[in-house]
């Protein structure tokens, strides 16, 4: 289970990168992602459980 500190740390990283970039579109996208992570922090602890995606590796060639 991923905890609150993980989301806080990831949001802070995205915010820092958004402030450092000169491209306003990239900055806005990063801020949106940081806001999404912050909303996860604000949700009850029971919803912080993220399951990995079921992804199959590509066929060997």
Please tell me the predicted confidence (pLDDT) of residue 55.
63
Instruction: With beta carbons less than 8 A apart as the criterion, state whether 38 and 61 touch.
Output: no
Specify whether the CB–CB gap between 7 and 54 falls below 8 A. no
Residue 60 structure tokens: 């060997």
- Per-residue confidence (pLDDT) for residue 52, from 0 to 100: 59
Ordered per-residue pLDDT tens for the chain, 61 residues: 677 888 888 889 999 999 999 999 999 999 999 988 888 777 765 444 555 556 666 677 6
pLDDT at 44: 67
The pLDDT score that the predictor gives to residue 51 is 57
The per-residue pLDDT for 1 is 61
Per-residue pLDDT at 4? 83
Q: What is the 3-state secondary structure (H, E, C) of the chain?
A: CCCHHHHHHHHHHHHHHHHHCCCHHHHHHHHHHHHHHHHHHHCCHHHHCCCCCCCCCCCCC
């Amino acid at each position: 289970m991923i905890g609150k500190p993980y989301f806080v740390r990831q949001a802070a990283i995205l915010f820092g990168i958004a402030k450092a970039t000169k491209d306003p579109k990239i900055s806005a996208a990063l801020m949106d992602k940081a806001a999404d992570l912050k909303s996860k922090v604000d949700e009850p602890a029971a919803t912080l459980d993220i399951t990995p995606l079921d992804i199959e590796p590509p066929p060997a060639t």
